[in-house]
Amino acid sequence: MFEPERIHYLNRNSACHRDYVLYWMGASQRTICNHALEYAAYQANLLNKPIVVYFGLTPDFPEANLRHYDFMLKGLAEVDAELKRRGIKFVLQLTSPEIGATILAKNACMVITDMGYLAIQRKWRKYTAQKIDCPLIQVESDVIVPVGIVSNKREYAARTIRPKILKHLDQFMKPLISIDLKKDSTKLAFDGLDLTDIDNIIDKLKIDKAVKPSEYFLPGQMQAQKLLDEFVSDKLINYDTDRNDPSIDGLSNMSPYLHFGQISPLDIAMKVKQHQSESADAYLEELIIRRELSMNFTHFTDNYDKYSCLPGWAKATLQSHKKDKRQYVYTLEQLENAKTHDDCWNAAQNQMLTTGKMHGYMRMYWGKKIIEWTNAPQTAFKFMLYLNNKYEIDGRDSNGFCGVAWCFGNHDRPWTPRSIFGTIRYMNEKGLQRKFDTAKYIEKIYTLEKKDHK
């Protein structure tokens, strides 16, 4: 039922005779198609114990703000309700996740957790594995093919990781069955936060509350499933031609939900794969190959959030053109407020400010122009990460870090040399105009802005 390659023992402890199996939820914030949750249910039934699901709400996650916390907490409120229907207690505590997990583990037979690919997530799990006296078992559920099975190193590009993923894809593209539990835990008493009063929880957080929640992307696994069904039935057929046109609504919009684990990539892939077509193949390339390349990048690159992470050839060519004359140079404040000469770039920035999600094709152009409009590539890297992580609902994850690094040549190849960029891939507005109706896109975002300011 569970592929053993998904399961990682993070310490050597033996199961204890205690009160419950603890599922420490982190990356996989859902009850649908969650391997870690179902593995916890399987172990709980073997031990004839109930499950308790714990989520540690760190009050100051790096760069997270009201937009991110609001989306996450509303999703967790739905998780709470769905777990209750299955007879599972959900405990949300305002504490750094590893601290709460360590404390709750004192009464646990074992601790099951999901897998995160960022340094802070690995740090939390390592700490807990060393501190508790029962097993800590990590179950990988937010990629289709586990990262360690695909490769044991940082991959150079999509072309190098693709055959390694495809080699194992059929093995892991299997439906996950929900397990009925023998024991109910809903009556167990724990100290925790009340998810029926999210405003009160947010008041307790030490976060930037100036970036307002998005009104364009409703959170939660049920909304994610609804959007997926709409995409598959209405948009997938034209995805191959529509995906690079930001003037129309041709994307699945799954990235915010994948970021918070509110939907499983396996669930998405299984539904898309049923519709065999060039568009389905193009979507699965993005969902599986490109997305899991980003997990490989952060998993095997300690400095993934720093300019130093870039390949040597990219840093060398950018450095050699560092003193090239720039026609335009903008401050961070000007960029943040979309005050440039480029109406298309301003529209992309305003789309991110207003909705919390910039169109994927525009993100590439947006990043390339920041390189062109700053005095040094190191500054451009910092600006780009700051803006992406602050305003994107799906910022601060492997895809985001990988996307920024791609703009600087990571997972790419040298191109024809030119000023400022050297041999880094270049993009310009004429290229956009050949792809889609830029005036239509600008007008679309302008209409959103007007609506938002009413």
pLDDT for 214 = 96
Neighbour tally for 439: CB within 10 Å: 12
Whole-angstrom distance, CA of residue 312 vs CA of residue 302:
16
Question: End-to-end distance of the chain based on CA atoms, in angstroms?
Answer: 52
Q: In this model, does residue 1 exceed pLDDT 90?
A: no
Residues of the chain with CATH 1.10.579.10: 307-453
What is the tens place of the pLDDT at every residue in 84-101? 999 999 999 999 999 999
Of the candidates 117, 63, 116, the residue with the CA atom closest to the CA atom of residue 297: 117
Q: In this model, does residue 220 exceed pLDDT 90?
A: yes
What the block records as the tokens of 121 is 């997530």
Quick check: 163 and 150 in contact, CB under 8 A? no
Q: In this model, does residue 254 exceed pLDDT 80?
A: yes
pLDDT for 395 = 92
What is the tens place of the pLDDT at every residue in 23-82? 999 999 999 999 999 999 999 999 999 999 999 999 878 889 999 999 999 999 999 999
Residues of the chain with CATH 3.40.50.620: 4-150+191-201
Whole-angstrom distance, CA of residue 227 vs CA of residue 217:
10
What the block records as the tokens of 6 is 């998904």
Whole-angstrom distance, CA of residue 57 vs CA of residue 100:
9
Whole-angstrom distance, CA of residue 370 vs CA of residue 137:
42
pLDDT for 174 = 95
Quick check: 211 and 66 in contact, CB under 8 A? yes
Q: Residues 6 or more apart from 81 whose CB is under 8 A from it?
A: none
Quick check: 149 and 290 in contact, CB under 8 A? no
Query: pTM for the full model?
Result: 0.97
Q: Is the dihedral of CA 181, 187, 189, 191 positive or negative?
A: positive
Whole-angstrom distance, CA of residue 262 vs CA of residue 179:
19
Percent of the chain with pLDDT over 90: 97
- The mean of the pLDDT values for the chain is 97
Predicted confidence band at 453 (pLDDT cuts at 50, 70, 90)? low
pLDDT for 60 = 79
Q: 307-453: which CATH number, 3.30.450.20, 3.40.190.10, 1.10.579.10, 1.10.287.130?
A: 1.10.579.10
What is the tens place of the pLDDT at every residue in 140-165? 999 999 999 999 999 999 999 999 99
Predicted confidence band at 450 (pLDDT cuts at 50, 70, 90)? confident
Neighbour tally for 11: CB within 10 Å: 17
Please work out, in degrees rounded to the nearest 5, the angle formed at the alpha carbon of residue 59 by the alpha carbons of 26 and 349.
85
What is the tens place of the pLDDT at every residue in 295-336? 999 999 999 999 999 999 999 999 999 999 999 999 999 999
Of the candidates 414, 210, 416, 165, the residue with the CA atom closest to the CA atom of residue 314: 414
Q: Summarize the confidence of residues 373-377 as an average pLDDT.
A: 98
Q: Kindly report the length of the chain.
A: 454
| CATH architecture of the domain with range 4-150+191-201 | 3-Layer(aba) Sandwich (3.40)
What is the tens place of the pLDDT at every residue in 257-299? 999 999 999 999 999 999 999 999 999 999 999 999 999 999 9
